[in-house]
Amino acid sequence: DQQVKQNSPSLSVQEGRISILNCDYTNSMFDYFLWYKKYPAEGPTFLISISSIKDKNEDGRFTVFLNKSAKHLSLHIVPSQPGDSAVYFCAAQQTGANNLFFGTGTRLTVIP
Amino acid sequence: GAVVSQHPSWVICKSGTSVKIECRSLDFQATTMFWYRQFPKQSLMLMATSNEGSKATYEQGVEKDKFLINHASLTLSTLTVTSAHPEDSSFYICSAPENLAVSYNEQFFGPGTRLTVL
């Protein structure tokens, strides 16, 4: 039972434009959400996170939006750069638990 | 950020043999480490939680006798795949939170180990 879902397996965006990666979750107990970036043959690296008490968190070119009522979050990258090309995983966590539930990932390709 | 290493990065073994994968926290102590597995085109799935000085906690459906976990020190956890079979071929990744005292914390992941069982 996949509690965190990323329905778009891939996304291609022109350099300089905005990349929007989406993530949905089913467990209403999740209250902390993270985005990880992963290059081939490497482990995921942390990108940005958001607590359920917020609806937006921004860090440079990366912004994560959270819509709790829709159980939906999105990652915006603007402007997109070729170096952003990677697989992006969203993950969710619940208070008191350290394990993360991951989505299946979205492969982002930024075209120069 | 904190650094987690894994060894080996890539291993091929014959069916029926055992393979040991090491996960080390290089610049911090990790009383807890997590072991994940990723099959092609699927998400990372938590296999077990490794606890220093005590038994590991396994997720439902993960055979504890097949995937032996030892967390002998604050910087090292090992995962041994015993009597490996081709269906065990996967990408195994460990992670460690730097500070468990914080309610929410980002986990630092190792680079992963690609296991291929022939």
Given this model, what pLDDT does residue B42 score? 80
pLDDT mean across residues, chain A: 93
Out of A9, A32, A102, whose CB is closest to B104?
A: A32
Per-residue pLDDT tens over the stretch A43-89: 888 899 999 999 999 999 999 999 999 999 999 999 999 999 999 99
Contact criterion met (CB below 8 Å) for B115 and B103: no
Measured between beta carbons, which residues in chain A are less than 8 angstroms from residue B104? Answer: 32, 49, 51, 93
Place of tokens 């073994």: B13
**Which residues from A are below 8 Å from B when comparing CB atoms?**
2, 4, 9, 32, 34, 36, 41-46, 49, 51, 89, 93, 95-96, 98-105
The string of DSSP codes covering B72-105 is EETTEEEEEE-S--GGG-EEEEEEEES-TTSSS-
CA distance A96 to chain B (A): 7
Per-residue pLDDT tens over the stretch A54-67: 999 999 999 999 99
> Closest residue of A to B5, CA-based?
A43
Higher pLDDT, B92 or B28: B92
Given this model, what pLDDT does residue A33 score? 94
Average pLDDT over residues B84-111: 82
Given this model, what pLDDT does residue A41 score? 75
Given this model, what pLDDT does residue B105 score? 62
The 10 Å CB-count burial string (b at 16+, else e) for A60-81 is eebbbbbeeeebebbbbbeebe
Place of tokens 């860090």: A59
Out of B97, B103, B109, whose CB is closest to A44?
A: B109
Q: Do B111 and A41 touch (CB under 8 A)?
A: yes
Question: In angstroms, rounded to a whole number, what is the distance separating the alpha carbons of residues A33 and A64?
Answer: 9
- Any bridge partners for residue B80, and if so which? B20, B68
pLDDT mean across residues, chain B: 89
Given this model, what pLDDT does residue A43 score? 84
Please tell me what DSSP assigns to residue B59: P
Here the tokens at position A42 are 């490497």
Q: Which of A108, A85, A109, A78 is nearest to A6 (CA)?
A: A108
